[in-house]
Amino acid sequence: MKKRMQSLQYQWFLLPILTVYSIFTVYPLLKSFVLSMTDFNGISKQYNFVGLANYGRLFRDQTIISGVSFTLSYAIATTLIITLLAIPLALILDNKFFTRNLHRAIFFFPSIPSGLLLAYVWGFILSPISSGVLNKILKSTFGLSTQPWLSDPMLAKISVIMVAVWAAVGWHAILYLAFLQGISKDYYEAAAIDGATRLKQIRHITLPLLAPAMTVSVMLLLTGGLKVFEIPFALTKGGPGFETYTITQVIVMRGVNEGQYGLASAMAIVFFLIVLALTYFQVTVMQKREERIQ
Amino acid sequence: MEINKRRWLMDIIMLPIGLLTFFPFYLIIVNTFKTQAETARNPISWPKTFYLDNYSYVFREVPLLHAMMNTTVITAISVGTMVIFGAMAAYPIVFNPGKTNKLIMTYLMAGFLIPFQTTLIPLFELMTDFRLIDRLYGLVLVYSGGSVFVFFLMMGYMKTIPKELPEAAIIDGCGTSGIFWKIIFPLLKPITVTAIIYQTMWIWNDFLAPMLFLNSSNNMTLILQVYRAKGEFSVNWPLFMTLTVIVLIPIFIFFILMQKQIVKGIVGGAVKG
């Protein structure tokens, strides 16, 4: 009895988190499921059960198809490019050189402020008008004509992805760097005695030992990439047309702005499933990879 | 000598890449001291004169101090709530283990997999029904669901605290509640710092939730003011850059003071993630 009382005294501590989490996360999730199968419009209190009709409509809505396709390409492209740049960057920043700390700070800093703010600044650099810095530089050094960085469908996608890479690559380099610093120097000394070149050491010691860091970094990049909103929103507002539209933007516009709650909720649920499936798949595959190479 | 040469080589290789990465910040700063006409002509060059009217204009036209107050209040209360709720929740999970608490832990951890975007529409409805739209504390409530991340960090750290510690305190006549507040919570300081840094960066910079749940100018956060100003200043880039510099200053100070802690946080979060 006394033991039981004591146990209950502990359980009170769970009350605050269970309350806020259930009301502000779990309940809305379940409600999304329900709404996705209705024709609720946010205004009339009456609504009908429509089964999976909203899910079918997702595939016929050109804006939504655009949004999903750009979001997926963005998530995959940023993950690949950032990973390919962050690892060599981390290897370099792990060396001793005079401006090392300065460089670490320079690469790291862009990941600290809001993406919205920084993307607006990039809007200035990529602007087609006379103050557009990039066009100005390209014109004066290479004699190139004005490029529509943000209004050509392909260039707009590339620009959005490049700005995202600039903003996040340092953060991920710092993550890899932290793991690099945990690698014992003994491995390298032993390899050097065996006559392994620096390149071979990186290939056979460093990269395998970075596998756990890679699993985490890629997971953060993929999930963060799927949730992308601010950078394309600030750079292109989703344009030209709907070329750089994102899933988040679809949910906000179709749901909150247009009151198509059923359709937007169906999008939200599909999004949830995409995030779930990709995260599960990626983590499983990469953890297997960790086991294999270590 | 040989090593010194290699050192310089790295500096020389990295210099252009570093400059390129830093270049946008250079542009932000130099263009705050130009007129619109000068920026249009020479966006890249060093300013001819140190023209300061942009600063006085931005300070006059944008209620930045008020927005900073709003952002600080929202961030401080949200982060405080998350840290306390998260730490409290970890306490029974770690020190009173059992089947029920294992289940509760799984229930809370599922929160990691639920994107904000999926809950956004019902959340908007909920907030409207409870008249919490355009209320600072409404936004704080929305953020408080983020306690699960803090809970996760706290739980990992709390497991390293020896079980004998609270047991000894019980013998000394300390209650369950007293043990937590007087003994356990103070021991969580290192992980609390990590959690505060993480959550502060998230909420301070967040755009989506404030955009959805705040709308009057009086309640706007810094980022919302940036968003609004971008619409108002349109292509008056010197004014926008000036606003950017002002908004970046507190973030820069935070970065300089906290760089080591942020890095530690990334590593701590990553190792556990």
Average pLDDT of span A190-217 = 86
Query: Is B244 within 8 Å of chain A by CB?
Result: yes
Chain B's closest residue to A107, CA to CA, is B21
Tokens of B196: 């505060």
| Å between A153 CA and nearest CA of chain B | 22
CA distance A171 to chain B (A): 9
Lowest mean pLDDT among A9-13, A234-238, B41-45, B240-244: B41-45
Handedness of CA A141, A142, A147, A149 (dihedral sign): negative
Per-range mean pLDDT, top range of B34-38, B93-97, B102-106: B102-106
User: How close, in Å, is residue B123 to chain A by CA atoms?
Assistant: 6
Q: Can you say how many angstroms the Cα of residue B245 is from the centroid of all Cα atoms in its chain?
A: 18
The phi and psi torsions of A49 (rounded to 5 degrees) equal: -80, 125
Side chain identity at A237, as an amino acid letter? K
Flag whether A36 is in a domain. Answer: no
User: Which whole number is the average pLDDT over B6-34?
Assistant: 89
> Is B259 touching A (CB cutoff 8 A)?
yes
- Residues of chain B in contact with residue A6, where contact means CB-CB under 8 angstroms, are 176
Identity of the amino acid at A209: L
pLDDT(B3) > 80: no
Residue of B139, B123, B122 lying closest to B211 (CA atoms)? B139
Helices B237-272 and A115-126 sit at what angle, rounded to 10 degrees?
Answer: 130
For residue B245 the two structure tokens come to 């510099």
Give the whole-angstrom CA distance, residue B233 versus residue B255: 28
Contact of B229 with chain A, judged by CB distance below 8 Å, is answered with no
The Cα of A204 is separated from the nearest Cα of chain B by a number of Å equal to 22
List the CATH code of the domain at B58-272.
Answer: 1.10.3720.10
At A46-98, the pLDDT tens digits run 788 888 888 988 888 899 999 999 999 999 999 999 999 999 999 999 888 88
Reduced 3-state DSSP string for chain A: CHHHHHHHHHHHHHHHHHHHHHHHHHHHHHHHHHHCCECCCCCCCCCCECCCHHHHHHCCCHHHHHHHHHHHHHHHHHHHHHHHHHHHHHHHHCCCCCCHHHHHHHHHHHHCCCHHHHHHHHHHHHCCCCCCHHHHHHHHHHCCCCCCCCCCHHHHHHHHHHHHHHHHHHHHHHHHHHHHCCCCHHHHHHHHHCCCCHHHHHHHHHHHHCHHHHHHHHHHHHHHHHCCCHHHHHHHCCCCCCCCCCHHHHHHHHHHHCCCHHHHHHHHHHHHHHHHHHHHHHHHHHHHHHHHHC
Alpha carbon of A51 to those of A46, A48, A54, B72: distances in Å? 16, 9, 8, 45
Per DSSP, B267 falls in state H
Q: How many independent structural domains does chain A possess?
A: 1
Residue type, A292: R
CB-CB neighbors (< 8 A) of B104 in chain A: 14, 18
Report if residue A12 sits inside a domain: no
Over residues B181-204, mean pLDDT:
90
CB contact under 8 A, B89 and A131: no
Q: Do A52 and A228 form a contact (C-beta atoms < 8 A)?
A: no
Reported residue count of chain B is 273
Q: Please give the DSSP secondary-structure letter assigned to residue B125.
A: H
Question: What integer pLDDT is reported at residue B1 of this predicted model?
Answer: 47
Locate all alpha helices (DSSP H) within B96-217, ordered by sequence: 99-109, 116-129, 136-144, 147-158, 164-171, 176-178, 185-187, 189-205, 208-213
Cβ B166 vs Cβ B183: under 8 Å? yes
CA–CA gap between residue B227 and residue A94 (Å, rounded): 38
User: Residue B271's pLDDT band (boundaries 50, 70, 90)?
Assistant: low
CATH number at residue A208: 1.10.3720.10
Kindly state whether residue A39 falls inside one of the protein's structural domains: no
Q: Collapsing DSSP states into helix, strand and coil, what is residue B263?
A: helix
Select from B11, B14, B84, B225 the residue whose CB has the most chain A CBs within 10 Å, as the one to mutate to test that interface.
Answer: B14
User: pLDDT tens across A229-281, in order?
Assistant: 999 999 998 879 898 999 999 999 998 888 889 999 999 999 999 999 998 99
Give the domain range for residue A164.
Answer: 48-293
Angle at Cα A246 formed by Cα A245 and Cα A251, nearest 5°? 110
B27 CB within 8 Å of a chain A CB? yes
* A75 belongs to a structural domain: yes
- DSSP symbol at B214: -
Closest Cα in chain B to A231 = B207
Q: Do B244 and A121 touch (CB under 8 A)?
A: yes
Between B25, B144, B230, which is nearest A20 by CB? Answer: B144
Residue-wise pLDDT tens digits, B112-136: 889 999 999 999 989 988 999 999 9
Cβ contact B14–A92 (<8 Å): yes
- Domain spans of chain B, in order of start: 58-272
